[in-house]
């Protein structure tokens, strides 16, 4: 097999400026939650401009925060999307709903404000604390995610949200809560892990501080967008949504349910080959929103994610017959005694096996001659580069 089976074109100048999610931080709907691993809405619009055909049904195998289906529904393009993380699935679906009303939002905002404004200091919320071991101080821990007062304020907010009778607004307000969790916690996202903030032990917020931050987020970030959604629905008669096309589960298993020869565009950014475990870096949101309640549930979720991290042992994995991959793995093996985790080679093998599984199914689902936009990044371990883009292209 030849090393290069395809033409490589450098699009750095075109795509590099629009690949970062932080360009979405002030954008309609996307600003509701700062998802740093995503790409900007402009990536989607640039793809649509580049196509020489109008797509009828797009596929997004790794939905994440929902940028692809949200932007495509604005263009009234159907997008079938998949997500294995319960938090990302919730986030994306909240952003895809078009049935919010401004009056409904204000009604529940005022009710939540009333409840938080009348919270007794000894109020026990009837809301259970998350079972995460490090959620707060307990006399045995050296580090914890929230000081007790801050955790109690979160439980106040959860109790208030629980009183909302309409599920779609409960979910919306839960995402607003998720958007402030790291800000009031003792940690921040530091690449592939959560790290403790400087002076976290002495940096504390009062219950009122946290309540105010939450209400301000709803007023300053969410309210205007909800009003615009209401106008789109009732004045502009905008009714298109990809909400019902979002599927919760492992795309490697669920994708088979999509009809053959039905997809004419794929836009996605899978987990990178960077040993990043998203169940770890989003554990605050997963546990606080009760999307994960037990450690066995967490372990099961990890097993259902793409094999891009070393937290799960998958046993012996057969190599793909790709010389470029084999060569890099051989070179990596020379550093075996220095591995920070013995599962590293298996993670790499598993990652490309998952890509092989994905493209094998895609080959049946896609209409011939249509296009895939697949955003990946290359990786290096112990000075050995794994050219993920070229290996994935060979698999495809």
SS (H, E, C) 67-108: HHHHHHHHCCCEEEEEECCHHHHHHHHHHHCCCCCHHHHHHH
Query: What is the predicted pLDDT for the residue at 22?
Result: 64
Nearest to 58 by CA among 371, 389, 358: 371
3-state secondary structure of 15: helix
pLDDT tens, residue order, the chain (396 aa): 445 678 888 888 888 777 765 666 678 899 999 887 777 888 899 999 999 999 999 999 999 999 999 999 999 999 999 999 999 999 999 999 999 999 999 999 999 999 998 876 655 657 889 999 999 999 899 999 999 999 999 999 999 999 999 999 999 999 999 999 999 999 999 877 899 999 999 999 999 999 999 999 999 999 999 999 998 877 666 789 999 999 999 999 999 999 999 999 999 999 999 888 889 999 999 999 999 999 999 999 999 999 998 888 888 898 999 999 999 999 999 999 999 999 999 999 999 999 999 999 999 999 999 999 999 999 999 999 999 999 999 999
CA distance 266 to 371: 7
Find out whether 176 and 217 touch, Cβ atoms under 8 Å: yes
CA distance 25 to 14: 21
3-state secondary structure of 368: strand
Which two tokens mark 362?
Answer: 């895609």
Query: What is the predicted pLDDT for the residue at 2?
Result: 46
What are the two backbone dihedrals, phi and then psi, of residue 189, each rounded to the nearest 5 degrees?
Answer: -80, 125
CA distance 95 to 236: 19
Nearest to 272 by CA among 22, 12, 15, 38: 38
Q: What is the pTM of this model?
A: 0.93
What are the two backbone dihedrals, phi and then psi, of residue 327, each rounded to the nearest 5 degrees?
Answer: -65, -45
Query: What is the predicted pLDDT for the residue at 127?
Result: 84
Give the strand pairing for 57-60 and 78-83: parallel
Query: What is the predicted pLDDT for the residue at 121?
Result: 62
Query: What is the predicted pLDDT for the residue at 119?
Result: 75
188-192 long-range contacts, Cβ below 8 Å, gap at least 24?
A: 189/36, 189/281, 191/276, 192/274, 192/275, 192/276, 192/277, 192/280, 192/281
Nearby residues of 341 by Cβ (< 8 Å), 6 or more positions away: 275, 310
CA distance 249 to 86: 9
Find out whether 294 and 133 touch, Cβ atoms under 8 Å: no
CA distance 374 to 362: 12
What DSSP state is assigned to residue 63?
-
Query: What is the predicted pLDDT for the residue at 300?
Result: 94
| 382 conformational bin, left if phi > 0, alpha if psi -120 to 50, beta if neither | left
């Amino acid at each position: 097999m030849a090393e290069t089976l395809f033409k490589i074109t450098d699009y750095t100048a075109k795509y590099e400026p629009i690949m970062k999610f932080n360009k979405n931080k002030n954008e309609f709907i996307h600003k509701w939650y700062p998802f740093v691993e995503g790409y900007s809405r402009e990536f989607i619009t640039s793809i649509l401009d580049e196509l020489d055909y109008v797509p009828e049904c797009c596929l997004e195998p790794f939905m994440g925060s929902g940028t692809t289906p949200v932007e495509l529904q604005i263009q009234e393009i159907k997008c079938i999307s998949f997500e294995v993380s319960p938090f990302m699935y919730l986030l994306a679906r909240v952003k895809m709903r078009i049935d919010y009303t401004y009056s409904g939002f204000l009604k529940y905002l005022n009710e939540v404000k009333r409840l938080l404004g009348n919270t007794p200091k000894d109020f026990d919320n009837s809301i259970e604390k998350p079972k995460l071991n490090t959620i707060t101080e307990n006399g045995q821990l050296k580090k914890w995610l929230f000081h007790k007062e801050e955790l109690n304020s979160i439980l106040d907010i959860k109790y208030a949200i629980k009183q909302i009778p309409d599920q779609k607004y409960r979910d919306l307000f839960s995402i607003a809560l998720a958007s402030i969790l790291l800000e009031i916690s003792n940690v921040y996202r530091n690449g592939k892990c959560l790290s403790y903030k400087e002076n976290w032990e002495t940096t504390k917020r009062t219950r009122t501080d946290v309540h105010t931050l939450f209400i301000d987020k709803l007023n300053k970030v969410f309210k205007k967008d909800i009003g615009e959604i209401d106008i789109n629905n009732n004045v502009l008669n905008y009714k298109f949504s990809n909400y019902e096309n979002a599927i919760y589960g492992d795309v490697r298993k669920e994708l088979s349910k999509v009809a053959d020869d039905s997809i004419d565009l794929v836009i996605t950014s899978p987990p990178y080959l960077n040993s990043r475990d998203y169940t770890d870096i989003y554990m605050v949101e997963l546990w606080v929103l009760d999307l994960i309640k037990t450690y066995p549930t967490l372990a099961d979720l990890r097993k259902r994610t793409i094999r891009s991290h070393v937290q799960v042992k998958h046993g012996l994995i057969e190599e793909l017959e790709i010389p470029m991959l084999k060569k890099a793995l051989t070179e990596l093996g020379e550093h075996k005694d220095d591995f920070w985790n013995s599962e590293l080679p298996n993670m790499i093998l598993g990652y490309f096996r998952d890509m092989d599984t994905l493209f094998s199914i895609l080959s049946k689902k896609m209409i011939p001659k249509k296009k895939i936009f697949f955003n990946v990044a290359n990786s290096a371990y112990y000075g050995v580069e794994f050219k993920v883009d070229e290996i994935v292209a060979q698999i495809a």
